[in-house]
Structures are given as C-alpha cells and as structure tokens.
Chain A
Amino acid sequence: MLSFLSRRLFVAFCVCVTVSALSFALMFLSGDPAIAIAGAGGRAEDAEAIRIAYGFDRPLIVQYLDWIGSAVTGDLGQSIYFNLPVTEIIGNRVGVTLTLGFISFLVALAVAVPLGIAAALRPNGWIDRIALIIAVSGQAIPSFWLGLMAIVVFGVWYGMVPISGAESWQGFILPVIVLSYYAVPELMRITRSGMIDVLATDYVRAARAKGLPMHLVISRHALRNAVLPLVSLAAVQLGQLLSGSIVIESVFALNGLGRLAWESLLRSDLPVVQAIILVLSLLYVLLTTCADILNAVLDPRLRGAT
C-alpha cells in the first residue's frame, strides 16, 4: 500500500509541474502581455514601461523559475490588474466556487446513483426510459441556455428566486440545479452499466439464491463492485464542477474562481492565471489520487497493480 501511495504521489507531483510549465509558456504564446496590460489605448511607450516594470523582458525560463520559487514558499505574487496579493483575491472567490461545486456534486450523486441503480434493476423499464431521457437531455442541452431559461421562468416570470448574485443562499438554487443537471448523466449511466454487469455475475446470483433480500444483495455485494468506476468518474466530475463552472458563474453572476480565471486570461493578469491553474491542477491531482486510494481500499486487487 505504501509503495502504491508513493508512486501515485510522485506521478501527481510531475503532473503539477508539467501543467504549470506548459500554461506559463502558453500565456506568452497568446500575445505580448505588456501590450495587453497597457490596454487598447496604450501607446508603445506604455507597453515598454510595463514590460520592464513587470520583468517581461527577462528570459522566459528565468521568469518561470522566479515564479515557481516564490510559489513553493506560498507567495503567488501580486495581481497586475487588482494590485492585490493573488492569494487574497483567490481567497475571496474560492468560497463561491467550492460551495457551488460541492453542493452540485452532492445533488448530482443523490440523483444519479439511486436512479442508475433503479434503471439497472429493470433495464428498459419505465424508470430506465425516464433516466435515459434525463441523460440525453442533460448532455445535449448547453448549460448556459438551461441557465438562462431557468432565469426567465423562475426569476423573471415567477420571481421565486434571485436572478443573479451570491448575496443570499437562494442565489445558489438555480446554479446548483443547472450545474448538477449537467453532471448527472455520466454518473447515472456509469452506475447503471456497472450495476447491470455486476447483477449478471455468479456471486450475485448465488447471493440471491441463498435467499438474501434484494436490498442487501445490492448494498452488500453488488454496489461495492459496481461503484469502482463510479468513484474514478466522480473524482473527475467533481474536478470539472469545481474548475469548469465558468459558464454557470457568468450566467448567474457568481464571482467565483472560474470567472476569475477567464477574466484574468483576457486581461493578461499572468500571476492570477498561473495561480489558478496551479490551484486547480493540484485539486485535480488531489481528487484523482484520493479516488485511486479509495478504489484501492475498496478493491484489494488494485493495490498490487502498477
């Protein structure tokens, strides 16, 4: 187990370094940051002054090492746009994103897993059909469209919930519904197919044959095996919900991390972009590593495998 853990952590570390180096290089490929910061009214002189002030005139590798050097000591630098420490800005915004991401994830799981199991118990039954409709529509409908429609119906027509903003908890109702709706299909389909496979195995048949009630067969025997792919997928989904809610955050004017990343990218606020990429890639790596460990706990066969 220990070697499994250390192997996983080493891979995770390499992923983080690669991601940060790649993203750093890509930022410079997408245009001259000094001109971008000087803005649409900036003259060449202003861009030159900025280039020197922020050290963009130094070799790329020097800038990268400089950045990574302070990053490991916890100093993520100063935002060029806000003139504030990056850690403070991210600290202000991460709350909204985490709240939105985790609640949506829990809602999605609470809907997807029971629905997936129910669908697997009677393939092609009416529950399965409804689940299929939800899955197909959830994957086909763009989330911003669904978000806007939800705003029109529940915000404008009926005035039941705030249209935008995160000032009150009610502001989270629509975004959570929309975001989790988007996450449900994959989780549900993988639960369903996993359950169908497991239910067809000999040991489940044996369990049923010895007269165990159905709910015990499912919870004790079937689910534990069917859940393995679900855990891996759920980790990735959670990562996506936390990092990929840019569109939902925009539609509902929730000023979270996704929006901050998008805006910072457009205004070439390099320190913020770098920091967010680092934080999100760490998060991803953490989640997938947790999923691997959880799977290893659930399934002893995985511990020895490379």
Chain B
Amino acid sequence: MVHDIIIAAIVVVVAGGGAAGLVPYVRSRRRSLPPGGQAPAGGEGQPGRSGTQSGATATATLAPPEPGTVAPPDLTAPPDLTAPPEVPARVVEKPPPSAGRLTRLRGRLARSHSAIGSVLLNLISAGKLDEQAWEEIEDTLITADMGVGPARELVEELKTEVKVAGTTDPAAVRQMLRTDLIAMINPALDRTLHLARHGDRPSVVLVVGVNGTGKTTTCGKLGRLLVGDGKTVVLGAADTFRAAAADQLQTWGDRVGAKVVRSDREGADPASVAFEAVNVGIQQGVDSVIVDTAGRLHTKTGLMDELGKIKRVIEKHGSVDEVLLVLDATTGQNGLRQARVFAEVVDITGIILTKLDGTARGGIIIQVQRELGVPVKLVGLGEGSDDLAFFDPQVFIDAILGE
C-alpha cells in the first residue's frame, strides 16, 4: 500500500508541481547566470553532505593579515583557515620544466596504445579492404571508447576517401587514417593554459571532476609543473569532504615549497577555503592559485550547486582563468555526460586526461571535445610526480598508430 501512495504522490507531484513549472515561462537557469551577477547569499543550495556547514561555532584563529581584506562574502562566520604549519626544513625539490615532457613520456603512451595501433595497421596492411575489414576497423575504434557514433563516422569518411583516392596502398591508407584521427581531435583548438598574472592578483585554476579521477594528485603535479616553469603557486585544499584530502595536497605542496591553504577542520565550507586561498595568493604575490575541489558525481544536484558556489565566490576576487575537468582515461561513455554537466555548472575551459599510462585509451575525449568544444590540455601519464604533460594531438595519434 505504501508504494501505491508513493507512486500516487509522485504522479500528483509531477502532474501538479512539475507541470506548473512546465508552463512556458522563460525560466532563467540559475546555473548559467553570469558570474558575480548574484550574490551567493542565504538562498544557496545547501550541499547534500552531512556534517558540513557548521561555521557558526568557528572562530578565526588566524585573522586575515590586512584589516581591509574582504571577508568571504557569504558566511557570517568564516571557518578556520590557518596557514599550513611551517614547511619543515627539508630540501625543496626543483621539478623539471614542462617543455618536451610528452616526448619523454611517449613510450608510456605507446605502451597503452600498441594493441589498437597494431590491430588497425594489420587490417590496413592486409591490403584487402572489404566490408568485414571496415567493420573490424570500426570495432577496434569502439574498443578505444570512442563511442559508436564517432567510430562509424570516421570509418565512413575513410571509406569514401579510399574510394576517391582509388588506392589500397597500406601506407596511403594509414596516412589517411592518421589525418582523420588527428582531425577528430581537432588540432586547431587552443591548448595552452592561460595563467598570466592579472596586475596585482594571481591567475586562478579550479580543478573539478567526479570521484577518483585523480584531482588531488593532478593538482599537486600541476603545481610542480608550474614551479618547474619558474612560476610561484599557492594550492587551495577546497576538498574538505574526503578524509585526508588536504593532507594529501599538503604533501605535494611541501615537496615543491608551495604554500597550501587549508581549513583545519573537516567539512568546512569549500567556497570559503577557495576564497581564502586566492586571498593568500594575492598577499604573497604568487603567479597562480590552484584550487582542488572534492570529487562529486555529476548527478548530485546539491554538490554541483556547491561547486557553482565555489566558483562564484572565487570570482569575488576576479575571474577564474582556467576550470579544468579531470577525466579518467578508463571512463567510458559516461564521460560525456559528466563533461556536459560540469560544463553547464562551471563552464570548463579544459580537460586533463589522467591514467593514460594504463591500457585505457581515453577515446571518450573525442566526443567531449566535439560536443563541448573544450580541448584536452594536459595528460597524466604515470604515477611519477612529473608525469603530467601538455597534450599534443599529433604526438598522441602517432603514439597510437605506433610509428
């Protein structure tokens, strides 16, 4: 009986409440509001996680150094934001610069792609491109998580090209395949990180993604990469949810001597930690601030609202320069849905594809790039602290095809 009632309730609610909203009034989607257009005041969506937002009892143990600094605008009592304990007197590492990293790491990429590359080449080199061969090429592309649609499209295009050229010469076909694949990854997209300082304030990078894609690790590596390029950074540990996430980031920060801004209690408001991180960045006059956020599944509305709030609150200081979505190369077709939702909420400007050193190929980025126009900017190619490299479509494809 209970279930009847429940279902009836849903029917009623939907028929009544839902429909009321479906009246063609122009509904302003709150999420797409221009940044800073609305003060993130009281009415913010409360994050759905328990145990957070108990800011009332917190007292600032470390007052902002300047009396005139703007306090986080949305909180009556900001949580404790203490600077990390003094960096222990250990040798601060000097990471290598970013240039040429992908070339160095090509071996790993080739390792992960050799299977698909050799299968494709075998099919092409067999010299007989009949229907079955084409189908197998399509299937091979599908196993790279490219998705059925794009794989089919690519094969159709290649088929036409081969017909037009009237050749089955393996080298020529291979060249066509290479060109088509590179075209699908669209080399024209701007893949640089825009991290120049804005006058008196640092550039800001926000790192977002679902759980377990490697956001915190990537933040650490990105910090190293920037330090290696001679920049100064501050890391913001706005992942206040996962146990020991801030400690993890702290470990990364200590290694390169970067300051880590964190809250000293779990479950603090991440937006205020992020805000404070940028604050510290301004005071210290660093080049960039990298803000790590908690992993959140894109289906959790409350958490996505929280993320939107983090971005809006940071924007009190000025624009957020890069919002990087961390995608795991093992992710399948769900990656597209993730990217869509994240793009809607925080307007991502780039993708970091991690864990490419495994057997996964990360083909999902093709669909993501095509649909959202957001380029892959960096790739993670291993567990080593300097295994994060700028993405280059040509090197990437050549590694797949195993030149």
Question: A and B, one complex?
Answer: no
B: residues with CB less than 8 A from A are none
